[in-house]
Amino acid sequence: MENLSIEVKLTKEPKVKPASDQLAFGTVFTDHMFTMDYTEGHGWHDPMIIPYEPITIDPAAIVFHYGQTVFEGLKAYVTEEDEVLLFRPEENMKRLNRSNERLCMPHFDEELALKGLRKLIQIDKDWIPKIEGTSLYIRPFIIATQPYLGVAPSKTYRFMIILSPVGAYYKEGINPVKIAVESEFVRAVKGGTGSAKTAGNYAGAMKAQEVAEAKGYSQVLWLDGKEHKYIEEVGAMNVFFKMDGKVVTPELNGSILEGITRKSVIELLRYWDIPVIERKISIDELYEAHQVGILEEAFGTGTAAVISPIGELSWNNANLTVNNGEIGALSKKIYDMMTGIQTGRLEDPFGWRMTVEL
């Protein structure tokens, strides 16, 4: 299948590119997109790069009714030497296939998808913004396209990749956020779809986010769906705590999304010989740690922010301030190293970068 050649049809009407200092997140898209179709009995076929445009799908398509869809998110950066770098993109393609598996969707060839992605980036490379902190956000996704109202896996799918130039996540410096511990809603349960990047998880999480925002918090800290006791994630990010000199993060348990930033941060800490432990962490333990003064740092990890420090946690009418509401030294060190590797400012001792040939 990796031998399938990718047909290219270029746009005749290139769009005006936004100024790099005016970019938000996910609002503008480049001139082209990658698409590939799947038909049962025939497999994946017709990989191509075509002008970015709306697509026509039957209103009865399974994706609209039963949410059979998966997605990914990663970024490309341009270096000072005008090289284009991707961060561990093969991990995203692997995870997309794992999400596929959970949603009864067909496996695709990861090499072919990466080839399509690189070719798409080559074509739209002038869209990659260059101001510090900006990047090209990449959104691969797959949707179930068969028109059928029966609840069953689709027999046809479309795989697409779209690109969006995005502004710096931290325009005014890294300000730690206020988080509300969520004690009513849950994001996922063991046996559910929490470990897959699938639309339903995000639709189901919006209510908690809305309630928390109305009370002045930026995100919620999710607890496990069974006992409402163990910490799982923060918003749509994985979460880490530094307690008594050691870093801890919830162990993967079937309901937590296995972040590539999470995995990289763990590998980075081990490389630095900083103790890092994946285990269950209860909210009571976190509260205790704060009370006795050993909760030193807390942060979320994910592609969009890389590191998002937590300055305050509210739980049961208690407000736990972390590191005086300021970014911790280790959080900052991790952020600098991760973004340094991603943007080409620093050496990459792990071989995490992939250079896109231009």
Ligand X SMILES: *Cc1c(COP(=O)(O)O)cnc(C)c1O
- Residues that bind ligand X in the complex, under the rule CB under 6 A: 73, 197, 233, 236-238, 257, 259-262, 301-303
Residue type, 292: V
Structure-block tokens of residue 203 = 């639709």
Instruction: State which residue, 73 or 200, has the beta carbon closest to ligand X.
Output: 73
Q: To the nearest whole angstrom, how small is the minimum distance from the Cβ of residue 89 to ligand X?
A: 11
CA 162 – CA 76 distance, rounded (Å): 12
CA 80 – CA 84 distance, rounded (Å): 10
Instruction: State which residue, 68 or 193, has the beta carbon closest to ligand X.
Output: 193
Angle between helices 260-271 and 329-343 (to 10 degrees): 110
Instruction: State which residue, 48 or 143, has the beta carbon closest to ligand X.
Output: 143
Instruction: State which residue, 146 or 308, has the beta carbon closest to ligand X.
Output: 308
Tokens 């919620």 found at: 220
Q: To the nearest whole angstrom, how small is the minimum distance from the Cβ of residue 261 to ligand X?
A: 3
CA 34 – CA 119 distance, rounded (Å): 9
Instruction: State which residue, 164 or 238, has the beta carbon closest to ligand X.
Output: 238
Q: To the nearest whole angstrom, how small is the minimum distance from the Cβ of residue 94 to ligand X?
A: 11
Q: To the nearest whole angstrom, how small is the minimum distance from the Cβ of residue 127 to ligand X?
A: 21
Instruction: State which residue, 233 or 297, has the beta carbon closest to ligand X.
Output: 233
Centre a 10 Å sphere on the Cβ of residue 319 and count the other Cβ atoms it contains.
10
Q: To the nearest whole angstrom, how small is the minimum distance from the Cβ of residue 250 to ligand X?
A: 11
CA 297 – CA 310 distance, rounded (Å): 8
Q: To the nearest whole angstrom, how small is the minimum distance from the Cβ of residue 147 to ligand X?
A: 29
CA 134 – CA 5 distance, rounded (Å): 32
Instruction: State which residue, 125 or 263, has the beta carbon closest to ligand X.
Output: 263
Are 95 and 108 in contact by the 8 Å Cβ rule? The answer is no
Instruction: State which residue, 167 or 259, has the beta carbon closest to ligand X.
Output: 259
Q: To the nearest whole angstrom, how small is the minimum distance from the Cβ of residue 16 to ligand X?
A: 30
CA 69 – CA 319 distance, rounded (Å): 38
CA 349 – CA 292 distance, rounded (Å): 37
Q: To the nearest whole angstrom, how small is the minimum distance from the Cβ of residue 189 to ligand X?
A: 14
Are 63 and 69 in contact by the 8 Å Cβ rule? The answer is yes
Instruction: State which residue, 37 or 110, has the beta carbon closest to ligand X.
Output: 110
CA 125 – CA 139 distance, rounded (Å): 15
Q: To the nearest whole angstrom, how small is the minimum distance from the Cβ of residue 233 to ligand X?
A: 5
Are 343 and 131 in contact by the 8 Å Cβ rule? The answer is no
Tabulate helix, strand, coil % of the chain (nearest 5): 25, 30, 45
Q: Nearest 5°: CA angle at 163, between 159 and 169?
A: 130
